[in-house]
């Protein structure tokens, strides 16, 4: 299908007008295309020729509206760093409508009813980060939003300094957040909770539509998906950075990419958001915070679902749903096909060893994926080979209890432990070049992002350890 034939629907507008506000995107000056993601285009049935369509830049700039599009911004609230903010909402986003199950929106398209004194714009750098990381996270097998394309412009915005504004077109199978429910709960409009729950069920859990117990089951599914999502983040070394309840998806997706990071050297306490002084959203805390967020979410649902039943499910999250999901992820990373009780200790010992070894998280698991009894490649990448050696003794013993062959194990591990992840220093370099109108590295990273498990000899440099001076870059929230 050509871009000109794209037609959109707006089911969210069937809700009453407290759920949204109509928002006309405010175009950027002198927009130019930075990148078009043909993989995302395929998802909405667009052919690759759309790349050359005269309407593409206009679509991303909000001046070309596909048939059926009626742009709007969504209303939501949320707990930000533990404090309730009664009204947030899409402060810089207009939703154009949906097709084939994907809801399209422009982020950075100007002020909305929910902008709260801010400018409704997104800086080029944060737009590039969001554009690329959604793709990387998807190809790592983790549920996420995607992005269709990105435009730059000559529109100036004020951040720490003057910067150029950009717009990224994001796509998601759902944009509803825990905070969307919170808005109506704290506004004491409890009838709206039911309306919203029905909407979420229709959009995301259609198999529950005719179930008498559907609201409770919706909560259970959201909780289970969240458990699996966070387990995957922990396994891959992804730190979200701003796990406020408005950034928690009711489909268990990774949403709202801000000051995120992939771990460089394994550091359990790593905090990627430099505004997060107490480490509320540190890597180690992500499972606890997701539990806290689910607890808050359950409060918001309490007028329509029994509190006791939700509490029981929350207990399950802590007792076994999250731990089991995490252990499953880690067993796969370690190439363990059997499930043995003391695997938990093996994993705990590994985390201690990784911390003490000052070893790159991604490189460690990739190197371990080739392990054949020769420990030297693992010593070579560690600052403290003794702790690695001690752990490998446990690992060797554990492997004896496996019935699969070494090559079977290596095969699973090589398709589980990526060779390429997008680290912040790579994104920074792509941004630096883009600010000089060189977008080539964005294309390189987009390609790498889509092939995380392959050997790509021409991109070997991107699999190397993060240069010392670029490790643990701290970033700020909205920009
Ligand atoms: P974020 O941290 O990007 O998820 O944003 C948190 C909230 O602030 C959301 O409601 C955003 O829409 C809003 N926001 C962030 N940056 C801006 C901006 N430049 N203009 C208007 N609203 C913004
Ligand atoms: Mg957000």
The residue to which tokens 């994001």 are assigned: 170
Centre of ligand 2 to C-alpha 177, Å, is 9
How far apart are the CA of 121 and the centre of ligand 2, in A? 13
| 81-to-244, 293, 318, 473, 477 alpha-carbon distances in Å | 6, 11, 21, 21, 12
Q: 13 — alpha (psi -120 to 50), left (phi > 0) or beta?
A: alpha
Half-sphere exposure of 426 toward its Cβ, with a 13 Å CA cutoff? 27
From the list 190, 421, 219, the residue with the least C-alpha distance to 308 is 219
pLDDT for 110: 98
Cβ(154)–Cβ(30) below 8 Å: yes
Could you count the other beta carbons within 10 Å of the beta carbon of residue 103?
24
Under DSSP, is residue 419 helix (H, G, I), strand (E, B) or coil? Answer: coil
pLDDT at 161 over 80: yes
Write down the pLDDT at residue 474. 83
372 CA to centre of ligand 2 in angstroms: 44
Helix, strand, coil fractions of the chain, as percent rounded to 5: 45, 15, 40
**Banded model confidence at residue 48, pLDDT cuts 50, 70, 90:** confident
% of the chain at pLDDT higher than 90: 98
Cα four-point dihedral sign 307, 309, 314, 318: positive
> Ligand 1 within 6 A of 121 CB?
yes
Nearest listed ligand to the Cα of residue 177: 2
Largest CA distance in the chain: 64
Report whether pLDDT(477) > 80: no
| Pairing mode of beta strands 238-239, 162-172 | unpaired
DSSP string of 39-96? HHHHHTT--GGGGG-TTHHHHHTTSS--BT---EEE---EEETTEEES----SSEEEE
H/E element holding 234? helix 214-236
Is there an atom of ligand 1 within 6 Å of 97 CB? no
Q: 115 CB less than 6 Å from ligand 1?
A: yes
CB of 114 closer than 8 Å to CB of 177:
no
Which one of 47, 160, 212, 246 is the catalytic residue? Answer: 246
Who's near 158: CB < 8 A, 6+ residues apart?
119
β-strand partners of 171: 104, 146
For residues 332 and 204, give the distance between their C-alpha atoms in angstroms, rounded to a whole number: 28
Q: Which residues place a Cβ less than 5 A from the ion ligand 2? A: 247, 256
Q: SS3 of 404, please?
A: coil
| Helix ranges, 286-342 (H) | 286-301, 307-316, 322-333
Q: Is 246 noted as a catalytic residue in this protein?
A: yes
Residues 6+ apart with CB under 8 A from 308: none
Using 50, 70 and 90 to split pLDDT, how confident is the model at 344?
very high
253-265: string of b/e by CB count within 10 Å (b at 16+)?
Answer: bbbbbbbbbbbbb
User: What value does the mean pLDDT take over residues 407-422?
Assistant: 98
Residue 357 predicted with pLDDT over 80: yes
CA-based nearest residue to 102, from 181, 169, 29, 188: 169
Instruction: Work out the pLDDT band at 478, boundaries 50, 70, 90.
Output: confident
The mean per-residue pLDDT over the stretch 214-231 comes to 99
* Backbone torsions φ then ψ of 266, nearest 5 degrees: -60, 125
Ligand 1 centroid–CA 214 distance in Å is 32
**SS3 at position 33:** strand
Task: Determine the atom of ligand 1 nearest the C-alpha atom of 120.
Answer: 20
Q: What's the pLDDT score for residue 57? A: 98
Q: Is 91 in the pocket of ligand 1 (CB under 6 A)?
A: yes
Q: What angle do CA 195, 196, 198 make, to 5 degrees?
A: 65
Instruction: Fill in the DSSP letter of residue 444.
Output: H
Q: Whose CA is nearest to atom 1 of ligand 1?
A: 478
Task: Measure 399 CA to ligand 2 centroid, in angstroms.
Answer: 43
Average pLDDT over residues 154-178: 97
Ligand with the closest atom to the CA of 477:
1
Q: How far apart are CA 353 and CA 402, in angstroms?
A: 22
Distance 8 CA to ligand 2 centre (A): 24
Question: DSSP 3-state assignment of 254?
Answer: strand
**474 vs 150, residue with greater confidence:** 150
Mean pLDDT over the full length of the chain: 97
Average pLDDT over residues 396-417: 97
**Counting atoms of ligand 1 from 1, which one is nearest the CA of 256?**
4
Q: Is 92 in the pocket of ligand 1 (CB under 6 A)?
A: yes
Atom number of ligand 1 nearest to Cα 247: 4
Could you say which ligand is closest to the alpha carbon of residue 478? 1
CB of 120 shorter than 6 A to ligand 1: yes
Would you say the CB of residue 242 lies under 6 angstroms from ligand 1? yes
Name the residue with tokens 């076994």.
320
Q: 230 is written with which tokens?
A: 């966070």
- Asked whether 119 lines ligand 1 (CB < 6 A), one says yes
Q: Is the pLDDT of residue 82 over 80?
A: yes
The per-residue pLDDT for range 259-268, each reduced to its tens digit, is 999 999 999 9
Residue 237 pLDDT > 80: yes
Residue 385 alpha carbon to ligand 2 centre in Å: 41
Is the beta carbon of 26 within 6 A of some atom in ligand 1? Answer: no
Minimal-distance CA residue to ligand 1 atom 18: 120
- Per-residue confidence (pLDDT) for residue 229, from 0 to 100: 99
């Amino acid at each position: 299908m050509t871009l000109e034939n794209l037609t959109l629907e707006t089911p969210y507008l069937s809700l009453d007008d407290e759920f949204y506000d109509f928002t006309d995107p405010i175009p950027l000056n002198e927009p130019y295309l930075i990148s078009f993601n043909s993989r995302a285009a395929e998802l909405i049935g667009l052919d690759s020729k759309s790349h050359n369509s005269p309407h593409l830049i206009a679509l991303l700039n909000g001046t070309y509206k596909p048939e059926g599009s009626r742009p709007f911004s969504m209303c939501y609230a949320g707990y930000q760093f533990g404090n309730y903010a009664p009204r947030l909402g899409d402060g810089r986003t207009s939703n154009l409508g949906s097709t084939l199950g994907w809801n399209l929106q422009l982020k950075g398209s100007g002020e909305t009813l929910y902008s709260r004194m801010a400018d409704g714009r997104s800086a080029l750098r944060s737009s590039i980060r969001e554009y690329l990381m959604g793709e990387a996270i998807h190809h790592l097998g983790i549920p996420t939003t995607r992005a269709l394309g990105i435009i730059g412009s000559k529109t100036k915005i004020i951040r720490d300094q003057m910067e150029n504004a950009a717009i990224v077109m994001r796509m998601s199978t759902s944009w509803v957040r825990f905070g969307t429910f919170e808005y109506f709960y704290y506004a004491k409009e409890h009838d709206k909770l039911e309306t919203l729950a029905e909407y979420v069920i229709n959009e995301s859990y259609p198999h529950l539509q005719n179930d008498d117990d559907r609201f409770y089951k919706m909560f259970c599914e959201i909780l289970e998906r969240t458990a699996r999502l966070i387990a995957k983040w922990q396994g891959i070394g992804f730190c979200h950075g701003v796990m406020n309840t408005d950034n928690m998806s009711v489909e268990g997706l990774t949403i709202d990419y801000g000051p995120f990071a992939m771990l460089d050297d394994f550091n359990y306490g790593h905090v990627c958001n430099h505004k997060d002084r107490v480490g509320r959203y540190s890597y180690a805390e992500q499972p606890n915070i997701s539990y806290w967020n689910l607890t808050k979410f359950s409060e918001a649902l309490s007028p329509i679902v029994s509190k006791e039943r939700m509490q029981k499910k929350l207990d399950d999250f802590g007792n076994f749903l999250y731990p089991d999901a995490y252990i499953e992820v880690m067993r796969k990373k370690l190439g363990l096909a059997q499930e043995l009780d003391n695997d938990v200790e093996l994993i705990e010992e590994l985390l201690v060893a990784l911390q003490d070894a000052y070893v790159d998280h991604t490189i460690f698991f990739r190197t371990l994926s080739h392990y054949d009894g020769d420990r030297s490649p693992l010593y070579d990448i560690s600052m403290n080979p003794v702790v690695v050696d001690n752990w490998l003794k446990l690992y060797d013993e554990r492997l004896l209890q496996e019935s699969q062959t070494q090559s079977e194990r290596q095969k699973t591990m090589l398709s589980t432990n990526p060779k390429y992840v997008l680290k912040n220093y790579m994104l920074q370099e792509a941004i630096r070049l883009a600010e000089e109108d060189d977008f080539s590295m964005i294309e390189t990273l987009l390609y790498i992002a889509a092939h995380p498990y392959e050997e790509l000899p021409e991109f070997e440099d991107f699999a190397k350890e993060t240069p010392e001076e670029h490790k643990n870059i701290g970033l700020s929230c909205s920009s």
